[in-house]
Every structure is written in C-alpha cells, then in structure tokens.
Amino acid sequence: MFKPKLDLKFLRRKPAEIFGLDVGSSAIKAVQIREAEGEHTLGALGIVTLPPDTIAEGSIKDPVTVSGAIKEAVQRAGLTTPNAVISICGRELIIKKVQIPAMPAKELHDAVHLEAEHHIPFAIDEVFIDYHPVAESGGTLDLILVAVKKSKVMEYITVVEDAGLNALIVDVDSFALSNQFELNAPDTSEEAVALIDIGASIMKTNVMRAGASIFARDIPFGGNQYTQAIAQRLGVPFEQAEAAKLGRDPDVEWESLLPAVEEVSHELSLEVQRTFDYFASTAESERIGKILLSGGCCQVPGLNEYLASNWGIPVELARPFERIAVPDEHVETVTAAGPSLAVAVGLGLRRPGDKAS
C-alpha cells in the first residue's frame, strides 16, 4: 500500500491519538477513526464551512480565518489530542510517473533526487520529495514521484500550529483518497479504477490498480465553477447559488439551473477526459474500468449519470464510511456530507510510521 508521507521529521514519539484534518477550499473537516481488533469506528467528527476564496486553488489567502475554522472544527468534534494528519494539493504540488534504471534500494534515494531535477520546475532545494516504485521490467523501474514546495507545506503547517495543533504527517489529497478506497472498497483486480475528488476549486484524480496508485494528477477545476455559473444566471449571491447547486434552496426550481449546470458539467467532463487521455499515453494499454466520485461537488444532482453517459464508463459515488461504524450521534452529519468526507477519512486512517506498511 502506498502511503506517501513527506518525511518532515515532526514525530518525536508515538502519540496516543491522532486525527485527520482536511483543510479544504470550502470547509475544514476533522475526522478521527478509531481501530480495534481490525474494526474501524468513527470516533469524532467536526465540520466548519469557510467563506468563499479563503483558500483558492490550494493556496491559503486568509490564514487567520483558516486557523479559527480549524479550532472550531476540532472543538465541534470534541477532540482533545493536538496530533493531526493534514494534506495538500494544488499548483505547487507535482505528481509524475517517471522511469529510471533499476538499481539496489540503497541507491534509489540519490538517483530519484537526481532524476527529479529534470521533472520539477522549482529549485531542488526548494521542495520536499517523496517517491514510490510502481513496477520493474526489463531493467527499468517505474516510479510515482511526488514533490511539493517547502513554502506550501509550511503555509499549511503554520495555520495548523496557529490553531494549537501539531501536523505530524503531511499527506497528499489524491493519496488520502486511496487510503479510504482500500479500506472501503478493496479491489485486487487488474482493472484500473479512477478516484476523482471534485472539491470547490481543485479536482484530484488518482488511478488505482490492484491496490496501488499508478497515476495521479490535480486539475484546477471544481464546484465553484458551478456556483459562479448559477449565481450569474440567477443574479444571486454566491452563498445562495451554492445552496441552489445542491438542491437546498426551496425557492429555486432545479430546471431553471439546468442550462448553467450542464454547461459546466460539459467543461468538467472535457477536463477529466484530457486527464484520461494523458494517463492512457503514459500507461500503454491501460484502461479505466470504473470511476468513483467524491468531494462536495459530486453531490450535484445527476452529475454521476451525466459523466457516465459521456465517458461510457460506470461512475459511482464514493462511500467513505462503507466499512467504518458510525455512532448514532454522527449518522445525520455523515449522511448529509457523504462523499465530501473521503479525503478526511483517508487522512484519519493514517498512522505514524505506516508509510512502509
């Protein structure tokens, strides 16, 4: 199992408890998953909505508001541990599949860092680098290379620390998706499955096969495009358009939104198709057999059916709590939030020292 972790050496001793903290563009989500005898249970859950543009395309624009929302989410969840797992996404994150000559494991670290200089548009000393071998054939090793600017990582760690917490593990959104997928929908077949999380401003994709990530990419496209199109069509504020988008405004008939929604859905479909085409160009005869949608935007009525029709591939909604017991006090929130909690659940499943497991 690939559990990428930028090895920042924050952990000094094993903490008693840890929780997932999804610092997203539209909301902060704190999720604690407890495990006992192989069974998983939702231990704590807190969600706080962020004002528009507080975080845009993965960049924190208003750190004071974000830190305050983190504090509130942790308080709502009733969490007492300060130990959090966070994740990042966006423009300053590079995820690429690269090939290098096969070599002994002890030589791999230096070789990957040398190879990374050819693929990263930043100075090598400005980034954290991680990698995972995917396959070896004919003396060639395929790797997933992950690099992120140190300044971006520190941007997120700072708001977490300002909220009085410790960021023990820094993950990547698209790989957090794979963590929850492997628990809730384990699939050892050779058919590739695309996990697509459509957030407010960034769409994260992760193609899995036989329990391993073989391709990942972030796309600067998300649910805000729907909201802005609806706001423009109806001449209403962003917040009201957001409610209408999710079918929660009783004063707005869904049929009146269809032209705007369908136009954005078409654009979204094209963006993902370009990503699939790029994946196909790097994966020889690989074919995606199924798509699992998550993120708040996937709750747009009819979106999964529209995309399935366009792509000719089965599209399902992710069920991040499929194999996680949910106490009665959290059932209503989990039911309402649904697939939007996929990244947070994936982070909540992380444990210190689990990267190599």
| Degrees, nearest 5: CA angle 243-181-191 | 115
Identity of residue 47: I
CATH architecture of 187-318: 2-Layer Sandwich (3.30)
pTM: 0.90
pLDDT in tens, 303-336: 989 999 988 899 999 999 999 999 999 999 999 9
Give Cα 53 to chain centroid, integer Å.
18
Q: Please indicate whether the domains covering 1-90+148-185+319-357 and 187-318 agree at the CATH topology level.
A: yes
d(CA 190, CA 88): 29
pLDDT of residue 9: 41
Q: Among candidates 166, 158, 172, which has minimal Cα distance to 83?
A: 166
d(CA 100, CA 215): 16
d(CA 173, CA 90): 9
The two tokens of residue 229 are: 């199109």
Sign of CA dihedral 204, 209, 213, 214: negative
| Degrees, nearest 5: CA angle 205-166-31 | 50
d(CA 345, CA 245): 24
pLDDT of residue 212: 81
Angle between helices 258-282 and 223-234 (to 10 degrees): 160
Name residue, tokens 């760690």: 157
- 211, 182 Cβ separation under 8 angstroms: yes
pLDDT of residue 181: 93
b vs e for 48-68, b when ≥16 Cβ sit within 10 Å of the residue's Cβ?
Answer: bebebebbbbbebebeeebbb
Strands 39-49 and 192-198: unpaired
- 160, 174 Cβ separation under 8 angstroms: no
CATH class of 1-90+148-185+319-357: alpha beta
Residues in the chain: 357
Contacts of 311 (CB under 8 A, 6+ apart): 269, 272, 273, 276, 291
d(CA 333, CA 3): 28
Spell out the domain ranges in the chain.
1-90+148-185+319-357, 187-318
Q: Which CA distances in Å does 96 have to 130, 144, 145, 159?
A: 11, 6, 5, 28
Sign of CA dihedral 98, 99, 104, 107: negative
Spans of the chain below 50 pLDDT: 1-5, 7-13, 356-357
d(CA 156, CA 122): 19
